[in-house]
């Protein structure tokens, strides 16, 4: 038999058989939604925090903050900022308390790898860099075997940073793909960055030589810098360091960093150099230092200096 267009009749016959089989099976394949996870349980990715390239602006969000998954799926939360965060599901009836940096239940992982829907589960401290004084963990994974709507928090930033996991029955069609979540998360991260830049400009308007803004946040973004970090004052004058934020604590630390940065040390009313530490300046708090001698005095936030939160005071006669 003559080959038509170079096709062997035997190959042509085989191709027709395959095409017929595919046509026969197509309706069956269409009956099973591709998004239903028919080929196995899925692992989803959520970013923890966000930041500018220079780490000055830090986001206070889980990206995405709301996710829809099915029973037996797993979520992996991945640290996406230098600022520390946690992924924490509180136990039934447990109240959200201020972050306690001395509690291993908050600093370290608690609970197993499969969420039971009512017990305390905690990622421990997550960050995308090595944070001095804290355990080093970059991600956290948890399987969800049962249906329900589950809220979780960052213990460090409380109510301002929470997320929700919606778990539906196996085989339920997913409303969004991972690509959908990734696109919306990138857009949200850009929005947070814009918010942080605007906040930074607003804080700069509040700063003077005698009033340094020790970081700030607005529930969306954090400015992890001393705003007007270098100031010049005269001997005998006072500089007030003001934490204008709502969620992030800071310190003002001159000289050697103490073993316990959370406790005040030194005499701020008569500073002539050497070691001085504010201890924790909570959101809304202030720390005043009166300079009694000439010189240039470097200082840091002992919690965030690794991000670039440093400054200096120049004292002249």
- pLDDT score for 103: 94
Containing 295, the helix (H) or strand (E) segment is strand 295-300
What's the rounded mean pLDDT across residues 96-113? Answer: 94
The 3-state DSSP class for residue 269 equals helix
Q: Put the strands of the sheet holding 253-254 in their side by side order.
A: 230-234, 310-316, 295-300, 253-254, 276-277
Residue 54 has pLDDT above 80, yes or no: yes
Chain centre to alpha carbon of residue 125 = 10
Residue 292 has which token pair?
Answer: 């009694």
Average pLDDT over residues 12-27: 33
Query: The pTM is what?
Result: 0.82
Which CATH architecture best describes the domain 207-316?
A: Sandwich (2.60)
Is the CB of residue 61 less than 8 Å from the CB of residue 222? no
- Residue 9's pLDDT is what? 33
Average pLDDT of the chain? 88
Long-range contacts, stretch 33-38, CB < 8 angstroms, 24+ apart: 33/173, 35/173, 35/174, 35/177, 36/171, 36/172, 36/173, 36/174, 37/70, 37/73, 37/170, 37/171, 37/174, 38/171
**pLDDT greater at residue 247 or residue 161:** 161
State mean pLDDT over 261-290. Answer: 96
User: What pLDDT score was predicted for residue 24?
Assistant: 32
- Give CA–CA dist 201/253, Å, rounded: 25
What pLDDT does 150 receive?
98
CB 96 within 8 A of CB 158: yes
Per-residue model confidence as pLDDT tens digits over 237-257? 999 999 998 878 899 999 999
First to last CA, the chain: 108
Q: Is 60 exceeded by the pLDDT of residue 32?
A: no
Element holding 89 (H helix, E strand): strand 88-89
The alpha-helical segments, DSSP class H, found in the chain are: 9-30, 104-107, 178-206
Residue 133: pLDDT band with limits 50, 70, 90: confident
Between residues 237 and 40, the one the model is more confident about: 237
| Short-list 153, 92, 97, 95, CA closest to 122 | 153
- Which residue spans of the chain are classified as CATH 2.60.40.420? 34-193, 207-316
Mean pLDDT of 221-248: 95
CA atoms within 13 A on the CB side of 317: 0
CATH number of 34-193: 2.60.40.420
If you count them, how many residues does the chain have?
Answer: 317
pLDDT for the residue 52: 97
* Alpha-carbon gap, residue 134 to 126, rounded angstroms: 9
């Amino acid at each position: 038999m003559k080959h038509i267009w170079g096709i062997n009749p035997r190959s042509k016959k085989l191709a027709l058989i395959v095409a017929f089989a595919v046509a026969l099976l197509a309706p069956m394949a269409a009956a099973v939604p591709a998004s239903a996870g028919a080929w196995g349980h899925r692992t989803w990715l959520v970013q923890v925090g966000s930041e500018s390239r220079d780490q000055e602006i830090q986001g206070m969000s889980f990206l995405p903050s709301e996710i829809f998954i099915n029973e037996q799926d797993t979520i992996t939360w991945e640290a996406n900022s230098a600022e520390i965060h946690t992924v924490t599901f509180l136990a039934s009836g447990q109240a959200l308390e201020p972050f306690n940096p001395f509690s291993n239940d908050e600093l370290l992982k608690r609970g197993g790898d499969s969420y039971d829907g009512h017990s305390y589960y905690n990622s421990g401290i997550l960050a995308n860099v090595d944070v001095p004084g804290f355990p080093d963990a970059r991600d956290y994974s948890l399987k969800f075997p049962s249906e329900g709507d589950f809220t979780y928090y960052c213990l460090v930033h409380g109510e301002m940073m929470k997320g929700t996991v919606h778990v539906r029955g196996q085989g339920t069609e997913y409303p969004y793909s991972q690509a959908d979540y990734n696109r919306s998360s990138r857009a949200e991260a850009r929005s947070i960055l814009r918010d942080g830049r605007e906040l930074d400009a607003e804080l700069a308007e509040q700063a003077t030589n005698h009033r340094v803004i020790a970081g700030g946040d607005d529930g969306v973004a954090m400015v992890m810098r001393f705003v007007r970090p270098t100031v010049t004052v005269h001997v005998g004058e006072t500089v007030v360091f003001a934490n204008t934020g709502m969620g992030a604590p800071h310190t003002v630390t001159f000289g050697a960093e103490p073993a316990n940065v959370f406790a005040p040390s030194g005499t701020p009313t008569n500073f002539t150099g050497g070691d001085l530490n504010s201890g924790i300046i909570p959101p809304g708090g202030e720390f005043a230092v009166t300079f009694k001698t000439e010189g240039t005095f470097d200082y840091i936030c002992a919690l965030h200096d690794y991000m670039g939160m440093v400054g200096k005071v120049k004292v002249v006669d």
